[in-house]
A = this chain, B = another copy of it.
Amino acid sequence: MGRKSGRSAEDTRRVVLDAAAEVVRTHGVATSIDVIARRADISKGGVLYHFTSKDALLLALAAEMTEGFREEVYAEVDQPEGTPGRLTRAYVKASVVPVEGRVARERFALITQLLALPAVLELVTADAERWERELNEDGVPQATLVLVVAAADGFGGLPLWTTPVPESARLRLRADLLGMIHSAVERAVDAGG
């Protein structure tokens, strides 16, 4: 039988990526293409028509995840360009998100699985280096930046295998971190000016 009724190749690609995301996140990278295919309601060969190999599929998935997080951070930016701490604040806001909005968590869980592929580790490392450059140019004194980013990463990443922190504590952490950025930037401005 030929092509699937009525949908475009793009659509199918999307369905495959979503199926792969869910299956790999919950059952690991060792999950076979066949399982992914069945979940996407397509044949194994169909999956490989859209992605040249299993690794290519998983790498595409990893790229989507890192890009997704980046977009969320940028979407949180709400200060004029040039404001010190502008990006760092957005980074905190995008990382310290409620657990119910599970997108962030699921993304992290998926990336963790995908790190088993050397190519993904490379991709993620490059992405992290880019974040480091961007954040270092954001005008937040180093001591505060290191603390705040570590806390944001720790909150966003490790809940993976931890019982989630209560919502009140999450809001408090968010406020504390934003407060730290605020006062560190003010102090720096006072000292510099």
Contact = CB atoms under 8 A, between A and B. Distances in A.
Dominant secondary structure of chain A at its interface with chain B: helix
Contact of A154 (B27, B113, B155, B165): B155
Interface stretch (A9-17, A71-79, A139-147): A139-147
Given A118-B28, A146-B173, A158 B151 contact: no
Given A157-B157, A157-B158, A29 B116 contact: yes
Interface of A: 27-30, 112-113, 115-118, 121, 124-125, 128-129, 132, 142-143, 146-147, 149-155, 157-158, 161-163, 165, 169-170, 172-173, 176-177
Given A142-B172, A146-B170, A146-B173, 13 more contacts: A28-B118, A29-B30, A112-B115, A116-B116, A124-B161, A128-B163, A132-B163, A146-B155, A146-B172, A147-B173, A150-B150, A153-B157, A153-B158
9 contacts: A30-B116, A112-B112, A112-B115, A132-B163, A149-B154, A150-B154, A150-B155, A154-B155, A154-B158
